[in-house]
Amino acid sequence: MRLLLKGVIDLKTKLEQIKEKLIEIEQAEERDDVNKKYNELENLFDDGSIWWLVERAQELEGKLIEAKDDYDYLSYHYGNETEQNKRHREAIDYVTSAEPTHYASLENALEDIKFVINEILEESE
């Protein structure tokens, strides 16, 4: 994520520099000044061309899509885990809150506990 943010900051800096140069080009009064300012604009980029910006934007877009996919995957699985934990807590509460008088025999209590545990395990699969 830090790398993505650094890329965005680098891109923002480049865009600000481009904006400044474009304003200078717009305000240039002579053709020679326009050509000089355009050359300065091209030199803002590592490879000497304005296509660096396009390539960088595409690269960052790819990273952003990957980060969103990761976020969606983790959000989905976190939601499932949270729901599963809730069911487990409910089962534990059900079993631990049972009073001995709720059951006709110890065998009935154990059968009920087994049933609840099996239901939870089947839902977890």
- Does residue 3 register a pLDDT over 60? no
Whether residue 26 sits in one domain with residue 69? no
Residue 125 has pLDDT above 70, yes or no: no
Per-residue model confidence as pLDDT tens digits over 53-79: 777 778 888 888 888 899 888 888 887
Domain check: are 61 and 98 in the same one?
A: yes
Domain count, the chain: 2
pLDDT tens sequence across 70-120: 988 888 888 778 888 888 888 888 877 878 777 788 888 888 888 888 887
Q: Which amino acid is at 24?
A: E
Q: Is the domain of 2 the same as that of 35? A: yes
Q: Which residues contact 107 (CB under 8 A, 6 or more apart)?
A: none
What is the structure's pLDDT at 117? 82
Two structure tokens written together for 80: 């499932």
Secondary structure letter of residue 102 according to DSSP: G
Considering the domain architecture, whether residues 66 and 116 belong to the same structural domain is answered as: yes
Exposed/middle/buried for 103, CB within 10 Å: 0-12, 13-18, 19+? middle
Give pTM, 2 decimals: 0.40
| Domain carrying residue 1 | 1-44
